[in-house]
Amino acid sequence: MSNFDYDLFVIGAGSGGVRASRMAAGLGARVAVCEDRYMGGTCVNVGCVPKKLYSYAAHFSHDFEDAAGFGWQVAEPHFHWPTLRDNKKKEISRLNGIYRKMLGNAGVELIDGRGQVTGPNSVEVNGQSYTAERILIATGGWPFVPDVPGKELALTSNEIFDIESFPSRIVIVGGGYIAVEFASIFAGLGAETHLLYRGDLFLRGFDQEIREYLATEMKKKGVQIHFNTDVEALSGSPGKITLSLDNGQEMSASHVLYATGRVPNTAKLGLESAGVELDDKGAIKINDCFQTNVPSIYALGDVVDRIQLTPVALAEGTFLAHHLYGEGRPVPDYTNVASAVFSHPNIGTVGLTEEQAREKYADISVFVSEFKPMKHTLSGSDERCLMKLIVDKATDKVVGAHMIGADAGELIQGIAIALKAGATKAVFDSTIGIHPTSAEEFVTMRTATR
């Protein structure tokens, strides 16, 4: 029997921490988890789950408009923010309970409070010291707000879901997927919505054609986009905020949301005193088996800043539990990790962008299909859809697939399996499509666009 209180002590009950602890306990380890804020982590509480629920809500405004072309006569719809907000709270509370129950059923001890590493094999929570053979840091990420005067007037994704009053005019600052998603949400719910980004075009790192196409589609849906624009200062008071811009102009807003990225949540964990090495962004340095330079301390998920996606943290947690307490698993494969942006319309993407493919391969073919979806031939909506395949000519393998359109995230998941399996363009071409769907375009693009 070990001389430690636990075999594994996990700091952080988010997606990765919960998965690793449950799996490790199931493999016979004595496990404890501490959490001081959210059961289920960012995704369940202030990320993926509430964001998707709010995105569903925002789509209804378009659905009411589309229905008229199909013969439905709908009275003037009215949106009630407190209903959405409070129903969301109930659902998150239900999920929090499920996470607690899952840990309990797995035999994991849950300790409420903030954990701090006090040594290679010790953690302190609420003044109580615990020892463990191994410690896992799974504390995720935290919203980053640049140090501009008046930053205390801004909201982040931690607070925006639960604001008391619905924004009459909201300004969203940022150019990543969180900024783009919230711009679509609030515009869809009826707020006057402005998106400010200091660069030429948002969603840096995504396929250029997809980025440009989304900007056009979002403008159609009422999002007022201001590229090459940054904020120098915020002033005023909550509900009446003035933004001083770098072009000399001013903008007013009832609410300002900063969605300017997330940083690893490593502050005040005692990692430096324990000798754990961090990189210049504050992310924990690890080897391929998620072990830090301190052999007894491990880390995974957003806190190591590899790919900030919930399913990636889950895969890492599964691997680590089996690596430490089971018969082992292959290390996670980070190639062809699919992702979605729940903008309006959605983005679904997997594999290389066209720009990345041109750098990697000597010769590629690009297949693009751009069209009005069948639904909108009657709805009257001017929303359009774009699908794109990128092929390495030498092997005929499809190395990238991208889409903008309704339910793109749902659709791209199946395409991701094909890319993971190494499907060639010939395999796509030989696959019989489902008609009439937008999805069939992925197997009917025969002529290269370029």
Q: Which of the residues are catalytic? A: 435
SS3 35: strand
Cα(390)–Cα(210) distance, integer angstroms: 13
SS3 135: strand
Please tell me the number of Cα atoms within 13 Å of 126 on its side-chain side: 6
| Number of neighbouring beta carbons within 10 Å of residue 389 | 26
Cα(7)–Cα(296) distance, integer angstroms: 10
- 295 DSSP assignment: T
Cα(93)–Cα(323) distance, integer angstroms: 33
Cα(183)–Cα(92) distance, integer angstroms: 22
The CA dihedral of 343, 210, 375, 389, to the nearest 10 degrees, is -130
Beta bridge partners of 106: none
Q: Which 3-state string (H, E, C) describes 170-233? A: EEEECCCHHHHHHHHHHHHHCCEEEEECCCCCCCCCCCHHHHHHHHHHHHHCCCEEECCCCEEE
At 375, the amino acid letter reads K
